[in-house]
Structures are given as C-alpha cells and as structure tokens.
C-alpha cells in the first residue's frame, strides 16, 4: 500500500477525476476509483456496503451530474435530486464507517447571483442563486453544509470542501453542444486554421471577464489537500485569484494554435455576467497557488485535443 494509505475517489472517469489520477502525487496513495457501473452513488445501501468494505483512509468526492445551462434548465429535478443523493450517500456512508478524512469538491454556482467580486467563502447563502443552475447549486450547498456540520459535531472528523473556479484541460469536452468556454474556443480556432478561415466570431464585445483554471492545477490542490487535510480550512475557494477577458482567451488560443486571422464581435449576442472571480485569501494563507500559466495550460489542452479529442 502507498505511504498515505487508501484513497476512495468518486467521479474518477470525469475530467477532474482523470486529472487527479494522472497527477504525479497520486502515486503517494493507493487510489480506488470505482466507475458508476461498479458503484451507483445514488444507491445508499450500495454506497454504505462499499465504503464499509473498502475502509478508505480518505474519500475525495469529485462525482456529479454536470451540464451546461440548457441541461440544467431542462432537467432541474435530476440535477437537484441525483447530486443531492450522491453527496449525502457518500458523505454519510464515510462518516458512519469511521472515515475521518473527507474532501468534498463543490462549485462556484453556490454563490449568490448578485454577490460582489471577488467571491469570498462567507458569501454562501447570503442571497438568491442563479436560477438557471439553482438545482445543482442547492445540491452542492447541501453537501458542503453537511461536511461542515459533521466537523462541528465531531472534532476528529476532518470533512472539508474545496470550491473550484471554472476549469478546463485534458479530458475536457470539445463538442460544441456540450463544451464550456475554453474548449469551445480551442475547437473554433482550430477549425478556422484548418479550413483557412480569416475571421472568428466572438459573442459580445469580449470584455466580460472569466476565471478559468487548468484542471491539472485543481488536481495539484486536491492532492496537496489530501496530505494536509488537518490544516485545510473547512471551506476554501480554489482558483487563480485573477481573471482574463474573453478577448484575451481567444487571443491566447490563437497564439498557441498559430492562427493569424482577425476576430469579429457580434454585439447582438448575449454575454452573461461581466465578471465572476474567486477570492483566494484562504488559499494563499494555506500556502498554495495554481502553478500553470494560461499559455501553458492552453498548450497542454490543445495537445490533448489534437491527440485524443479529434480522433
């Protein structure tokens, strides 16, 4: 067995889970990462039996039903009910089996829609949520609060939550029907270069700002936290602490791919919030910052896109 003991990872086949499994620090753990076919997290009895039999030293909960705005709006019941039951089942099974270390991965959608930037951890539940993904947010809030309550009731139980900012990276989804901003930009600019197109369209004026962190950097934070969970705050944003404009993301992707054309702005298209940036005071005090530059992160993601996603 690896020196740190056994780590049970949920969501091992998702983007975050795969980046955790690929990270060099994962070698310090004996990681068990059941697929959804091997362990249905919505089945409380199955989860209880699995955790009791596995007896992990640490659980990292990275599983969830995720999707874009359309999916969240079309299936709010599933996003609330499935994510709630997955979170509750794995947290309570772990606690009832005597697991003392648990790392829960949440989401910035837990923050109120009108919260001022940067978003600090104490803003959760201080205002109404963004309606388009409210069900998912409620499920994440429930799991986060459950971990905090367990920690309050039982001082020996280290049940902590990381709140990652937006992510992109290896194992991302690049299909325009399912992709988020950065993989969508990579796909779009790659096609423009491949097809010899001179222009690429950007929705809006491109000045809206977004914080996107490389998924490999979140894996770095998760594995550092796994080995230092006693010193981790009970609730902590995990992000860059700075953001970039949409125009900057497009230009950096063009630089990486080597596309020399021009961007045109369609000012009739919606652009969403002007900014969504995480406060990183707790993260800095804990002693971690994201190690990968935007250019390098996009380069590694593009390499993955060329080698894996386009085949």
Q: CA 240 to CA 210: how far, in whole Å? A: 11
Q: CA 197 to CA 175: how far, in whole Å? A: 20
Q: CA 52 to CA 275: how far, in whole Å? A: 44
Full DSSP string of 48-87:
HHHHHHH--SEEEE-------HHHHHH-HHHHHHHHHHHH
* Orientation angle between helical segments 134-153 and 76-96, nearest 10 degrees: 20
Q: What are the residue numbers of the active site?
A: 136
- Residue 190's CB is within 10 A of a number of other CB atoms, namely 20
Q: CA 279 to CA 3: how far, in whole Å? A: 33
CB neighbour burial string for 268-294, b if at least 16 within 10 angstroms, e if fewer: eeeeeeebbbbbbebbeebebebebeb
Helices (H) and strands (E) in the chain, counts: 10, 12
């Amino acid at each position: 067995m690896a020196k740190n003991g056994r780590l049970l990872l949920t969501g091992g086949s998702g983007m975050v889970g795969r980046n955790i499994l690929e990270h060099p620090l994962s070698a310090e753990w004996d990681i068990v990462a059941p697929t959804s076919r091997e362990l249905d997290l919505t089945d409380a009895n199955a989860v209880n039996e699995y955790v009791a039999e596995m007896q992990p030293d640490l659980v990292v909960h990275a599983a969830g039903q995720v999707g874009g705005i359309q999916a969240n709006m079309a299936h709010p019941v599933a996003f609330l009910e499935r994510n709630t039951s997955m979170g509750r089942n794995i947290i309570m099974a772990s606690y009832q089996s005597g697991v003392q270390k648990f790392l829960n991965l949440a989401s910035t959608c837990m923050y109120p829609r009108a919260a001022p930037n940067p978003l600090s951890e104490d803003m959760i539940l201080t205002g109404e949520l963004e309606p388009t993904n409210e069900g998912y947010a409620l499920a994440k809030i429930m799991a986060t609060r459950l971990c905090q309550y367990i920690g309050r009731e039982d001082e020996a139980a280290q049940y902590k939550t990381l709140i990652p900012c937006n992510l992109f990276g290896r194992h991302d989804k690049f299909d325009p029907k399912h992709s988020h901003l950065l993989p969508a930009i990579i796909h779009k600019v790659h096609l423009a270069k491949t097809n010899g197109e001179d222009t690429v369209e950007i929705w809006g004026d491109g000045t809206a700002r977004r914080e996107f962190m490389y998924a490999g950097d979140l894996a770095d934070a998760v594995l550092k936290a796994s080995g230092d969970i006693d010193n981790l705050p009970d609730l902590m944003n995990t992000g860059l602490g700075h953001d970039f404009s949409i125009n900057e993301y497009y230009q950096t992707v063009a630089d990486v791919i080597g596309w020399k054309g021009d961007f045109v702005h369609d000012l009739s298209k919606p652009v969403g919030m002007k900014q969504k940036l995480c406060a990183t005071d707790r993260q800095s005090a804990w002693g971690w910052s994201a190690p990968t530059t935007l250019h390098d992160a996009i380069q590694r993601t593009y390499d993955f896109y060329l080698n894996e996603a386009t085949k």
